[in-house]
Structure 1
């Protein structure tokens, strides 16, 4: 009789191999998508109706470079106005004052409910409602008056419209970040003797940045692209600069490609900066987040210890 232990193969559990399941149709679909994409790009790039030499020469044209500078300036200033305004509106939205809460809600309703293009045109034509901006001391002739058209230039109208519109969206982003912070953090700050404003500045907002920064980076990129809307008021940003060039040489597609290349480059730089900021913020918060709760607990423990020692001394 043959021993079965000698004929049956013995496999140790450590010697088992895991074989990945094959997906042939996944490769087929990938190759098909690659072929279609390559065909589209090749047909577009190889079109005899596109003058790629003009694209290369217009990339560094003086008016295009000036337009890029104004685009970056509008993006930074308008986004800054939006961030500051969003923080103020978010705090008003969370306020216990019903008037402030109602004003914030009305602001969000108006600026989020109307297209930003209409807002840009509205602010640019503000002189139709107020021909002049005057400031006088009541019951005196002391004061000054300035024509609205001299104040609301295309650049000023663009900054006002984009910044005020962005503030409405940033308010919701900031409010969501504030809600994400645990209520215990406010209580710990109050235990340390901080006022509500100090707790907001030193405890709540720094921790809310983890939730606020990623969507703010996306809003910055959207703001960069939304600056192209101010071409309707001839603010001479990037798109307006390219439009003025193809208005002369009639190379519409070539100049739109130039604008697209620069927008892609600027968006890429903004995305990289956002990633670096998020990584840096994660490192800072990992170092600082725990000490806030630990500091509060340590402070409470020291207060209790001192109270206990005082009572023991009296006894």
Structure 2
């Protein structure tokens, strides 16, 4: 049964078709200038039966770019393309937020015109490689941001939020998960600063909180969400005490009253981190005053269970939406789900992008 999952929902002043959220997923189908292709409007409109769509991660500036063929929200051409996309989603009856992205050290100079990636500190990602159009490459040691550059990045977030309004989005989400720049400021193995943006948990949290304040000043708190991944070590996001870190951060976020907190469950084995919390929702959920969107490997049954147990206000689904554009209808019918072709998840043309059929 998926009665609650498929029932109408309300997120502050937004009426949603159901309690299902399409999670942000990079598809790498923008052009070299970061302009989404025309078929992106079809892609999102096909999936507008989700209660809320959160867009793929969108670069807030040219300096934020870390991966090739990813879209931006800092040029007039990019904004015009997103206007077509949001209009298509709204025409189909959907709602869509823009996920705002700065990759920080998760990038490579070959994607950035020869410029090194930037980060809180000059600490490289270990044990992984980065995708570029020239093949996989080892991560480089990033360049540490200066204090004035940090303020400029916060300004870039503000401008991206303003551009999201121009582009017709219904709100914005700060991507502070999965090892990107805001996450890098939070984690003590990546942030070795000794100024006001590093050291104590409060100082390491400052960047995220100042960015959130800037976004809220543009949109109002109800239309600004944040995505967090407290116990995902991907991209070398290894903190000495994530329980203390995120307990503090969530307490400070409560003061800002964001529209929602999008919380990722553990997606990787944590055998090497015995002191890390295992049950993210049980550990951090009670500390969150805003609506909680639960993310991470849910299906119809587990999503329904999370709602009924009061663990989440909404549940987000990622990969299932790729091959099942009408995912809510398939859940309603109990239909078998199509499986996404992983060879076409990133890059390429429209095959594997807009050609998955609905029922």
Structure number with larger C-alpha Rg: 1
How high is the TM-score relative to the length of structure 2?
Answer: 0.20
The structure whose residues are more often helix, as a share, is 1
Higher relative contact order by CA 8 Å / sep ≥ 6: 1 or 2? 1
What TM-score comes out, normalization by structure 1 length?
Answer: 0.22
Structure with the bigger percentage of strand: 2
